[in-house]
Every structure is written in structure tokens, then in C-alpha cells.
Structure 1
Amino acid sequence: MHAQPGDWLVVKGVRVDLPEQRGRIIAVGGSGGTPPFTVRWLADDRVSTVFPGPDAIVLTQPEITERDEQDRARLERFRALRRAGAAHGVRT
């Protein structure tokens, strides 16, 4: 795993009901951008040193922006389907 300051560390939730955790990488400790990473977590603004496990990925700013746009589009399609179902008397 390689990163540079400004990339995002995304750690998947270990259960379906736990959301992923996101943090901005503010420093890399290893040579060539390898861990450990110093990360500022989006949820609570805390800073920690992380040795990412297999449940983590590094995304660049353009990659995370694209992913967020895809998530928003998927949510909007879902909402449109719910509205269409409600308009036809389908209970959701």
C-alpha cells in the first residue's frame, strides 16, 4: 500500500451496520509512501498513526470524489424508485 499526503484512507466497517471510516493522510512514515500513515479522521478530527490492514484502501482526491458522486447517484435512483412505488400504491 502506497500513499502521499492528501490521499484518503478508507477503512471498511467490520459489520454491515458499521459505516466505513475515512481519514485524510497528512504524513507517510515509510519510504516511497508506505505505512505507517498519520491520518486525520473525518468523523472526529482526531489524528492517529495507522498501519492499515486488509480492510483499508487508499484513494486519491479524484477517486474519492468519483466514488461519492456514484454513491449520491445510487441514492437518488433509490429515492426515485421509492417515490414511483408510492405513487402507484406500493407500500415501502
Structure 2
Amino acid sequence: MRASVGDEVVVESGHVAGAVRRGTVVEVHHPDGTPPFLVEWAESGERTLVFPGPDTRIVPAERPAP
């Protein structure tokens, strides 16, 4: 899994009708975009270091065409 600053992180719940967490990648620790990522969570504004699991997906940010 790879991400860039500005991408959205979505963590699905493992439970039916469970909460979905959404956040924005604010820092990537490796030049190739591999984890961990510093994520700012939308619901709390808290920033945490994320090591994505199988219930996590990255939604690329829209970037202008070159």
C-alpha cells in the first residue's frame, strides 16, 4: 500500500453497521510512499501514526494534470 500527502485513508469497521473512520495523510515517512503514514482524522482532528491493516484503503487525492 502506498500513499501521498493529501490522500484519504478510510478504515472500514469489521462489524456490520460499524463506524468508518476517515482521515487525511499529512505526512509520509518513506520516499516510496509506504507506511507508516501520519493521518489527521476527520472526526476528531487528532493525528496518529497509521500502519494500515487489511480493513484500510487509500483514496488518492485529486491532483491537477501536469
Please tell me the TM-score bracket, short chain as reference.
Answer: 0.7 to 0.9
Q: Residue 32 of structure 2 corresponds to which residue in structure 1?
A: 32
Distance 1:57 1:30 in 2: 18
Gaps of 5+ in 2: none
Higher-Rg member (1/2):
1
The amino acid across from 1:40 in the alignment is E
Q: Residue 45 of structure 1 corresponds to which residue in structure 2?
A: 45
Report the 3-state secondary structure (helix = DSSP H, G, I; strand = E; otherwise coil) of the residue aligned with 2:32.
helix
Structure 1 residue 17, shift from structure 2 partner = 2.3
Alignment of structure 1 residues 1-92 onto 2, 5 Å: 1-62=1-62
Distance 2:40 2:28 in 1: 12
Higher strand share: 2
Structure 1 residue 31, shift from structure 2 partner = 3.2
Extract structure 1 runs of 4+ deviating beyond 3 A. none
Structure 1 residue 61, shift from structure 2 partner = 2.7
Determine what percentage of the aligned residue pairs are the same residue.
Answer: 37
Higher helix share: 1
Q: How many residues align?
A: 62
Gaps of 5+ in 1: 63-92
Q: How well do the aligned residues superpose, as a CA RMSD in angstroms?
A: 1.0
Distance 1:53 1:10 in 2: 11
